Amino acid sequence: MGQRSGKRVAVASICVLLSAAAVVVLGVRIYLGREAESRLAPDEVLDFAARDSGGRANVFAACPPGYCTPPSDMASPIFATNWGRLNDYWSELIAVQPRVTLVSWDAQRRRATYIERSAIFRFPDIVTVEFVILSDGRSSLAIDSRSRYGRGDMGVNRRRVVAWLATLGTMMRDDRRSGS
């Protein structure tokens, strides 16, 4: 009988621990899901000419050469279309992204800022995109993706930027092939 009661205590302990973990997860999710987490603080409005990313492992940026200070982590592609058409493609791309919300649009700078939330805990990442006008009807974009909280991001911001730029390039190639 001592062995049975020991198993019951172990099972009860595991249930208590799992319940406590569920309460913590729910609490974090509710806290990070509140409306205040969908607004930008003044220091979160990004200027690509003076990005503050020093010493942060949870920031990744792609910019046209010479556009960002400090320099970006990778060069953005140059697109053979004007910035307005590039923005149209971008809007299509963003429209199908889960948990991404536009929180700011600066028409003068052609800059959009989004918040994308992680699936489980709803951690907010801030993604800023600025459309860059180049000569001869070409354009590019600067994109900075950063985690609002924490020091590391396990490569999430890098994967996001690389995937979105690859998808954008594919969309434009497919559109040209179909004759649009």
- 35 burial class (0-12, 13-18, 19+ CB within 10 angstroms)? exposed
pLDDT confidence of residue 113: 95
Q: Are 103 and 37 in contact (CB under 8 A)?
A: no
pTM higher than 0.85 for the full model? no
Element (H, E) at 19: helix 2-32
How high is the mean pLDDT in each 10-residue block of the chain (180 residues)?
72 74 58 65 82 77 92 93 95 95 94 92 91 94 92 89 96 66
Domain residue extents for the chain? 1-32, 36-178
pLDDT confidence of residue 34: 57
CATH class of this structure's domain 36-178 = alpha beta
Q: What is the largest CA-CA distance in the chain?
A: 85
- 171 burial class (0-12, 13-18, 19+ CB within 10 angstroms)? middle
